[in-house]
Chain A
Amino acid sequence: MTTLPTSTEKKLGLAIDLDTCVGCHACVVSCKEWNTSNYGTPLSDEDAYGAEPHGTFLNRVHSFEAQPESGCSQTIHFPKSCLHCDDAPCVTVCPTGASYKRSEDGIVLVNEDDCMGCGLCAWACPYGARELDQLSGVMKKCTLCVDRIYNENIPEQDREPACVRSCPAGARHFGDFADPDSNVSKLVGERGGIDLMPEMGTKPVNKYLPPRLKDAPSEARLPETNKDAKGFLAWLDKALEAI
């Protein structure tokens, strides 16, 4: 049923640290790599070596500039994938029952065997997190690597989404937001994690840790110990004596 569970036992998701993401696209490609040969049909690429290549990706990194009132502009790299919303509009619109939110862990999935490729769920998602694969005709989205996180064929420490596993800067954190003591809950608490487009009322599970304050003028000041070379040499002699 594409009704949403009233609550989920766990809320698995990602905390994405915008203060640490350098915009390297590692998560984008590792996601593509894992998912093209795992869950469901491949993530295909059309016109792959042609004039306008375009393919399906479940995670994409945008780059923004934000201009503070004073001081220089800031560059922010911004990875975006499905936020696994508690109030996921993509699920309730689905006419075939392909889209669903799991009551056990909150992951939003598409059962590709049921999907008719109408695209309405992608319309319903305010975040642009779903992409209709053009070759297979079914809707694709982040599965939170559901076929990794519980996978007994994978060493325990690797049972996390491919994007988290690969992120070189450690800007992506995977965990259970329903558990106040989890790594992600703590990070959100410490860093003031935020929702994207809260006005949409989707209650995203994934949180973004905002960039720390940048370009704050330094408080440090150098003492005017030596005015010139002569003063310096005098200071030097005393300083050497003190060693």
Chain B
Amino acid sequence: MTNRRPEARPSPKVSDEVRKTTCYMCACRCGIDVHLQDGRVKYIEGNRDHPVNQGVLCAKGSAGIMQHYSPARLRAPLKRTGPRGSGQFEEITWDEAYEIAASWLEPIRATDPSKLAFFTGRDQSQSFTSFWAEAFGTPNYAAHGGFCSVNMAAAGIYTMGGAFWEFGQPDWDRTRLFMIFGVAEDHDSNPIKIGLGKLKKNGGRVIGVNPIRSGYNAIADDWIGITPGTDGLFILSMIHELLKAGKVDLDYLTRYTNAGFLVNDDPCDPDYGLFLRDGDGTAQVIDRATGKAAKYDAKGVRPDLAGHLRKGGVTYKPAFQLLAEKYLDPQYDAEKVAAQCGLTPERIRATAAELARVAFEEEITLDVEWTDWKGETHKTMTGRPVAFHAMRGISAHSNGFQTCRALHILQILLGSVEVPGGFRFKPPYPKPPESHPKPHAGHRPGKPLDGPHLGYPLGPEHLLLNEDGTPKRIDKAFTWENPFSAHGLMHMVISNAHAGDPYKIDTLFMYMANMAWNSTMNTSQVIDMLTDTDENGDYVIPHFIYSDAYSSETVAYADLVLPDTTYLERHDCISLLDRPICEAEAAADSIRWPVVEPDRDVKGFQSALCDLGARLGLPGFVNEDGSQKYRDYAHYMVSHERRPGVGPLAGWRGKDGDKGGRGEPNPDQIEKYIENGGFWLSHIPQNAQFYKPWNQHYQDWAVEIGLFDAAAPYVFNLYLEPLRKLQRAAEGHGDIQPPDHLREQVKSAMTPLPEWYEPFEEAVTDKDAYPLHALSQRPMHMYHSWGGQNAWLRQITGVNRLFVPRAVWEENGFAEGDDWAFVTSPHGRIKCRVARMDALNENTVWTWNAIGKKRGAWALAEDAQEATQSFLLNHLINELLPEKGDGRRWANSDPVTGQAAWFDLRVRIEKAPPGDHLAEPAHPAQASPVGVGPKDIAYGEEF
């Protein structure tokens, strides 16, 4: 009676064809094998050969089918017909869309290009979008780093010429102890997960520092549930303990850092705090052999790290001595700082001891001969198998820059950067601040900008200030408020443009940034700013062009929407000019290509910029005869040259495709990438794989491959002279000085050796009224607001709850189940669901990020749980601090970089009375230009 059973060894055909491209379900850039059947995407799996993910794939990547076929995909260019925010649009042609855009942009460019603010979000084509913005001539361009990671990036670049994030990695094969600070699971996630698995298999240990024990911290052998914003204090205390114990790598410090640089120690001297330099500007050290001043980079010179030198009546001391004197101060004693960090003194000392034990007692030696930049040959490579990684948890604070600096100094003192077992850079890093561009904002009507927008200032002379001291950029980047804002300040653009401070703009042009929702602070106010009208009834921000692939919240606020493709329908290059996919042992870049063609009237945003650039006649986008230069982005990818022989893609260059790195453009380059699985990889020679900043083999290889044009060895900056230059200006020296109200902030925040200070918002907040820290983390299976439209992922987390530590839970009388609370900050109040969590810092509440959605967005039903049950913490955060009573509004951001201080938020919580609950604030619904998704789905039925 029963049917025949399925055959014992079923061997069904998987698909008609596999096309290999690059994932874009998050910014991780994994290689994927896309299986197609009957022209439809049947299955996506990780590409085993790919350097980033080595075959594995995360939940987002595997849910790519649901993203690609999402009902929220935009179908055609949209022109707003209702008021902003209503979601009422009409579909128009691309020609009409370009015409509208050009009608706004052409007059701006002809008169004042700075009236355009062009900001991109999570795109990875910044070398291209910045090229467009430069050609347009507006100084107002940046990507989203200012509210994401600039503290980490800038502290890394300034201190050691490279940063965490995806720009470096632990030496996973050799690390014995891996310490992570504030690492959520959303960035570089597959490489880190692969690495953690490897580390665990090898018997290595993990120390997790995070107020919340989730994800990676859940599998940490030791969890340090630190109080938010105190990581810097904890790190400096460990430095104190290590110095007291003499557990620092002196050989490493003398060779590879500015520990021996002589610092002017005469408070009365105008150059107080600056390095002693010789006539050609080279920093001087005391040569231990002679006791005399010598160039730090002269062959054979071994600097002294203590002592002093008198010259011209001024006393100079080695930077390291200043460092030691500073951090040996009893104020950093574990006993003194432990309570503030939410830790015990024993825990701090034990952690420092464990770091020292592994670094110095489990030393590694590799029998690899190498030659350093001074020409000295070393028979072996010495490794300290302690590696660190850190992310937003320490950087999204108003003391984040100095905290990140402190962590790098700890790494360097242990001698564990760019050594076997330690933290390693991935090309194009290491690259010291001096080798990066300086910021530019010189704009003239009808002309391109005078240079790249963003860069790394080395002193007041590089700030972007007008003669009268006013900011040149709309986001006030590179001003005294945040001089080293290397990524710009996307989170300030809308509020500054709305306030007309420093000036008004005409057109806001954004890409892939959900600024009207989860990618902004104080969401409700940003919505008000976008919809606010002047006395004539015109919008205060007159024009808003937005490009997105999906019907996001922000789409509803745009006047003109340029529909982007899904990631499987587009060309992209993950370029060495930008954020490539390199490994510590290889240079690599990759592409996306349309593995399926769009079935809608949509266009990759970069291709649209090629069209629009040509229509506007932007230099670089038109040929000499005025015709369009790049047919589309793919054409740009293969034919554009940034420098002679160096273009967006490094692989298969040259007419015959036989050159790597440098070489003339190859029209068949993309075909070569596709043949190779979507990526290109070139291994770093074995003797160049460590000590990269000082390794002659690496420097030669980097020049050969085109990462830079001349060798640029450098030493790490324990002591950061550029910061001292800013302080010096604040003390009244030089032509460019901060305004009076900022002098104290510059003096206290720009210390050349990191100091810990209380986060700004905390310092001005009544801690009795707002006793709790509030954080958000991104779940590993979601990326920003994208995940919520995904039929599979939204089942995993469609409702977020505020996790509350046990004591607070009991104090408020919460009970398991359907419990709701009001959460109030100095800036606002929300209503949300709560849940208890025990493995949580006792003063911290937190939730998953970007789960809450606006009604009507993302093609979800208006009663979707994301809109009714879920919430954003963003409503409680402001880009400005609460009033201090001095008549000024101070930015809620890091004073060095301007990074948005998301994690300085303080709140109080109270139980909501029983009843029917909906999350608050509840915004009115926006109409959906794409309708609502289907009721039920059974994907795969047709196969």
Listed in ascending order, the chain A residues whose CB lies under 8 Å from chain B are 17, 19-26, 28-30, 32-34, 36-39, 41-55, 57, 63, 65, 67, 72-77, 96-98, 100, 102, 104, 109, 111, 113-114, 135-136, 146-147, 150-154, 157-158, 162, 165-171, 211-212, 214-218, 220-229, 232-233, 235-237, 239-240, 243
Contacts and interface: CB of A to CB of B under 8 A. Distances in A.
B357 interface: yes
Given A22-B193, A236-B305, A51 B868 contact: yes
A20 B354 CA distance: 22
Interface string B890-901: 000000000000
A46 B352 CA distance: 53
Interface string B843-885: 0000000000000000111011100100000000000000000
6 cross-chain pairs, A with B, having the tightest CB-CB distances, nearest first = A37-B940, A49-B933, A168-B193, A73-B838, A170-B197, A150-B9
A44 B244 CA distance: 62
A72 B350 contact: no
Contact of B45 (A102, A166, A237): A166
B14 A154 contact: yes
Interface residues of B, number: 113
A32 B792 contact: yes
With a 10 A CB-CB cut-off, give which of B352, B859, B938 has the most chain A CB atoms.
B938
B244 A232 contact: yes
Interface stretch (B110-118, B209-217, B690-698): B209-217
A96 B8 CA distance: 19
Given A22-B196, A166-B46, A236-B306, A224 B244 contact: yes
Contacts of A217: 346, 350
Given A51-B863, A51-B864, A45 B250 contact: no
A58 to B, nearest CB: 13
Contacts of A34: 43
Interface in B265-310: 288, 302, 304-306
Interface of B: 1-6, 8-14, 42-46, 48, 53, 55-63, 65, 71, 185, 189-190, 193-194, 196-198, 200-201, 213-223, 225, 241-247, 250-251, 254, 288, 302, 304-306, 321, 324-325, 328-329, 346, 349-354, 356-357, 780-781, 789, 791-796, 798, 837-839, 859-861, 863-865, 868, 932-941, 943
A67 B244 CA distance: 36
Contacts of A220: 350, 353-354, 356-357
A54 B936 CA distance: 10
Contacts of B1: 97
A4 to B, nearest CB: 15
Nearest to B936: A46
A154 to B, nearest CB: 6
A69 to B, nearest CB: 14
Nearest to A53: B795
Contacts of A19: 200, 219
Given A28-B59, A240-B305, 6 more contacts: A23-B214, A45-B936, A72-B223, A150-B11, A220-B357, A222-B356
A154 B321 CA distance: 62
Given A50-B935, A113-B3, A22 B59 contact: no
Nearest to A155: B48
A100 B9 contact: no
With a 10 A CB-CB cut-off, give which of A19, A49, A73, A98 has the most chain B CB atoms.
A49
Contact of B780 (A23, A44, A109, A227): A23
B244 to A, nearest CB: 5
7 contacts: A26-B58, A45-B792, A48-B935, A162-B45, A218-B351, A222-B247, A239-B250
B11 A151 contact: yes
B781 A168 contact: no
A240 B868 contact: no
A48 B794 CA distance: 9
B214 A75 contact: yes
Nearest to B838: A73
Contacts of B351: 218
A57 B325 CA distance: 60
A107 to B, nearest CB: 10
Contacts of A166: 45-46, 56-58, 61-62
A134 to B, nearest CB: 8
Contact of A225 (B57, B244, B321): B244
A55 B9 CA distance: 28
A77 B217 CA distance: 11
B793 A29 contact: yes
Contact of A53 (B65, B304, B791): B791
With a 10 A CB-CB cut-off, give which of A53, A74, A216, A233 has the most chain B CB atoms.
A53
A233 B321 contact: yes
With a 10 A CB-CB cut-off, give which of B216, B789, B940 has the most chain A CB atoms.
B940
A168 B194 contact: yes
Contacts of A224: 244-245
Contacts of B9: 150
Contacts of B246: 223, 225-226, 232, 235-236, 239
A168 B53 contact: yes
A157 B243 CA distance: 50
Nearest to B320: A236
A26 B934 CA distance: 25
Contacts of B943: 37-38
A20 B795 contact: no
Contacts of A72: 213, 223, 225, 838-839
Contacts of B939: 36-37, 42, 45
Contacts of B794: 53
A77 B796 CA distance: 14
Contact of B59 (A17, A25, A45, A154): A25
Contacts of B356: 220, 222
B59 A75 contact: no
A23 B215 contact: yes
A202 B786 CA distance: 41
Contacts of B837: 65
Contact of A165 (B3, B45, B198): B45
A49 B45 contact: no
Nearest to A227: B244
B244 A111 contact: no
Nearest to B60: A29
Contact of A226 (B12, B328, B789): B328
